Chain A
Amino acid sequence: MIDKELIQVIDPSGDVVDEPALEKISQEDMIRMYRFMVLTKLWNNKALSLQRQGRLGTLASVRGQEAANVGMGMALGPNDWFCPAFREYGAMLIRGATLKDLFLHWSGDERGARPPEGSRMLPVCITVGSHLTHAAGIAWGAKIRGERIAVMSSSGDGSTSQGDFYEALNFAGVFKLPVVFVIQNNHWAISIPVEKQTASETLAEKACAVGIDGVRADGNDVIAVYLTVKRLLDQARSDFKPALVELVTYRLGDHTTADDASRYRKEEEVQSWLKKDPIDRMRNFLTKRQGWTEEKEAQLTAECNEEVEQAVKDFEATPNRQPTAIFDHMYAEMPWHLKEQKEEMLRLLGSQVR
C-alpha cells in the first residue's frame, strides 16, 4: 500500500494537527526526544567548529535533520537492529554511541566507529545505499533463526537511485523480511536536488515496484517520525511486513565541511526551511502544551553543552593508537603476511611502539 499523504502531528508553528496521535506517546518520551535533538544539534555545531579550527576531519552536518534522526532512533525496540548511513548522529546516540565516540571517529580514529557492545547497530556506511541489503540480510537471518525483531536502515534521497536500493527492497518484499527502510529525504545529494534524482513524485511510491508499503511523514516533526516509524517497525516485527518510509526534511548545512552549498542552491530555500526548524517546532509545542519554560530550556541547554564540552575534553585526551593497530582487525587470526608487515613496521618505528 502506498500512502503519499504527509503524516504530521505537529505543524511548523508547534500547534497540534493530530490530537489522537498524542495519546500514543508519554510526556517523558517527548522530553527525552527533545533533549536528544538539542544534544545532537549542539554536538553537531561543536563538531563543525572543531573542524574549522583544525581539530576534526571532514564532517557531515546533520543540522536540520534532528527530528528525523531522533524520531527513528527512539522508535527502535531494544533488540532491533539499526543500519545507519553517515548522517544519523541522533539515532546513533540513542543507540548507545557516545559523543566522544562520534568525535573520535570524525577525527579519523576507527575506534570511534566501533558500535557499543550489544548495541545491534552497524558502523556507518559511506558507500551510498549498499547497507540497505545488509539490513535486509540481518532481518532475514533473524527471521530464519526465529527471533522476532525488526531491522531499520537509514539512508538519504540519493540512495534511492542506487541498484542496491531496489534490490534490497525487492528481496525484503519477496522474502517478507522484517525490515523498515527509512529514507531521510533532505532534498539534496551533495549538489543534486531530489527532482534530478528521480522523476517519481515521491520517494515513498518507489515501494510500489516491489510490492511493499510506502509512506511519507514530515521529517521535521519528531512525533510524526517516531509514531510512523514505530508503527512500521511493529508491523515488521509482528507480521513480517517490510516497508519504505520517506521522511521529508531538509539539510540546512553543507553536504560536508568540504562542500559549499551556496554554489548550487539558493539562500531563500534555506531560509524557508529554517522556518520549519524541527527543534524550534518541538520547543514551541512543548511550551504550548507541556509546560515547558525558559528555565527548563536554559537548564537543558546548559546540561547538554556541558556534556558536549566534556566529550571534547575526553576525546582530545584520548591517545592515538599505536600505528601497528592498523593490522589488528583484518582477519580473526592474523595471517603470515600481515604478521610480517606488522614486524616490518615495528622495525621501522623502533622498539617504542608495540
Chain B
Amino acid sequence: MARLSMVESINTTLHELMAKDDRIVVMGEDVGVDGGVFRATVGLIEKFGEERVIDTPLAESAIIGTAIGMAIYGMRPVAEIQFEGFMFKAFDHVYSHASRMRNRSQGLYGVPLVIRAPYGAGVRALEHHSDAPEALYAHVPGLKVVIPSTPADAKGLLTASIEDPDTVIFLEPKRLYRLFKEEVPEGDYRVPLGKARIVREGQDLTIVTYGGMVAVCEKAAQHAANEGVDVEIVDLRTVWPFDVDAVVQSVTKTGRLVIVHEAPRSVSISSEIAATVAEKCLLSLLAPIKRVTGYDVIPPLSRLEEYNYPDTERVVRAIHDSMQF
C-alpha cells in the first residue's frame, strides 16, 4: 500500500482503471497536457493518448452533452468540470438528459457517466470556486451524488462510480486534495455506492456528515470524548441516495443527532436526513435534531470564508446543546 493524498489517489485510480477498461475516456478543460488544474489527471495523456484523454474546448454544456452521447454509445466517459461553480452551464444536460435517458428510452439506454468536479470551500479561491451544490443534484430524480472524505475512499468510490450503470456526480472536496495522506489499497478496490462508513463508534450522540466536514467532526468528537461524551460519526460517502439504514441504526442507538455539512442549510441534504429520521425513528429521539452547516449565503471570499464554514467549535457547541437538552 502506498501513502497518497486524495488528489494522488484519484490520479492513480484513473491510471489503473483506464489501463483495464478501454471504454473509459477522460475529458474536460485542461485535463490533458496540463494534467488538470489540480493535477488530478496528470500523466494520463502521456499514457493513454489524446484520443482517450481529451482537452476539450471551453464549453461545459458540450462536454457533458457529448459525454452523454458517448455513454449511450457504450463508452465510460469521466468528464471533469474544472470547478463546481461551472457545472451549471451543463445543468440542462444533467437534469434533462443524463438523469432521464433511461426512463425516456424505457430502459434501452443508460447513461454511465461520471462527472468529476472539485468541490467546496477552504482553498481561498475566487467566486464560483467555493460552492457546495450537492443538494441541487440530489434533488434530480435519477442521479447519484458521491463525495469522498479520504484518499482511500476516493479510490474505492471513484471505481464504483465509473462502474455504475447510471450517472454519478462525483464531488471532490478541494480542501482535502492535499490536506493529508493515508494508506490507499493498491489494485482493484471499490467502496460500494450507497454504503456509509462508521468513522468512529459511540453511544451518546450521532453526527451524520460527509466530505470535507468529516475531519472537522472527528476533531469535535475527540473534544467531546475528553468531556465524557461518546460520539458516533457516520460518513455518508454517497450523499444521494444515502445509506438510510446506517443513519437510522445509529440514531436509534444514540437518540441524538447532529448533521454537519458545508452547503447552505435550507432545503439541503441535512433537511432530507432530518426528515428521514423524523419519519423512521422519531420515537428514539432524546433531543431535537441539530444542524451545523454553511449559512444560506453566497460563499464569502477568503477573508470571511472561515465564518461560514462549520468548524470544530461550532460542532462541539451543537454536541453540548444536544447533550444538555
Contact = CB atoms under 8 A, between A and B. Distances in A.
A174 B54 CA distance: 11
Contacts, number: 136
Contacts of B59: 167, 170-171
Nearest to A109: B106
Nearest to A331: B166
Given A83-B69, A332-B110, 7 more contacts: A130-B93, A133-B65, A133-B68, A137-B68, A138-B70, A141-B70, A145-B74
Contacts of A175: 54
Given A127-B96, A134-B66, A137-B68, A331 B102 contact: yes
Interface string B85-104: 00000001100110001111
Contact of A134 (B57, B97, B107, B144): B97
Interface of A: 81, 83, 110-111, 113-115, 117, 122-123, 125, 127, 130-142, 144-145, 163-164, 167-168, 170-171, 174-175, 328-333, 335-337
Given A137-B67, A140-B70, A113 B75 contact: no
Contact of A137 (B66, B102, B104, B105): B66
A97 B71 CA distance: 23
A98 to B, nearest CB: 14
Given A113-B104, A133-B93, A170 B57 contact: yes
28 contacts: A110-B106, A113-B105, A114-B106, A114-B108, A117-B108, A122-B72, A123-B101, A123-B104, A127-B96, A133-B64, A134-B68, A134-B69, A135-B69, A136-B66, A136-B69, A137-B68, A138-B72, A141-B69, A144-B25, A145-B74, A164-B61, A329-B102, A329-B103, A329-B106, A329-B107, A330-B141, A335-B194, A335-B241
B103 A330 contact: yes
Given A138-B73, A335-B241, A114 B68 contact: no
B21 interface: no
A2 B237 CA distance: 52
B56 to A, nearest CB: 7
B68 A144 contact: no
Residue in B108, B110, B165 with the greatest tally of chain A CB atoms within 10 Å: B108
B110 A137 contact: no
B244 interface: yes
A115 B105 CA distance: 6
B51 interface: yes
Contacts of B61: 133, 163-164, 167
Contacts of B65: 130, 132-134, 136-137, 164, 167-168
Contacts of A142: 73
Contacts of A137: 65-73, 77
A79 to B, nearest CB: 12
A221 B96 CA distance: 34
B74 A130 contact: no
A72 to B, nearest CB: 19
Contacts of B57: 167, 170-171, 174
A144 B75 contact: yes
A292 to B, nearest CB: 38
A130 B166 contact: no
Contacts of A135: 69
Contacts of B295: none
A140 to B, nearest CB: 6
Contacts of A337: 241, 244
Nearest to A117: B108
Nearest to B103: A329
Contacts of A141: 69-70, 73-75
A171 B66 contact: yes
Contacts of A132: 65
B142 to A, nearest CB: 5
A145 B75 contact: yes
Contacts of A164: 61-62, 65
B197 interface: no
B109 interface: yes
Given A167-B61, A331-B142, A111 B106 contact: yes
A133 B92 CA distance: 12
Interface in B35-61: 51-52, 54, 56-57, 59, 61
A336 B104 contact: no
Nearest to B113: A137
B256 to A, nearest CB: 24
Nearest to B102: A329
A81 to B, nearest CB: 8
Nearest to B72: A138
Nearest to A133: B65
Contacts of A145: 23, 73-75
B192 to A, nearest CB: 11
B164 to A, nearest CB: 8
Contact of A133 (B51, B69, B103, B245): B69
A83 B102 CA distance: 15
Nearest to B23: A145
Contacts of A144: 25, 51-52, 70, 75
Contacts of B75: 141, 144-145
A170 B58 CA distance: 10
A167 to B, nearest CB: 3
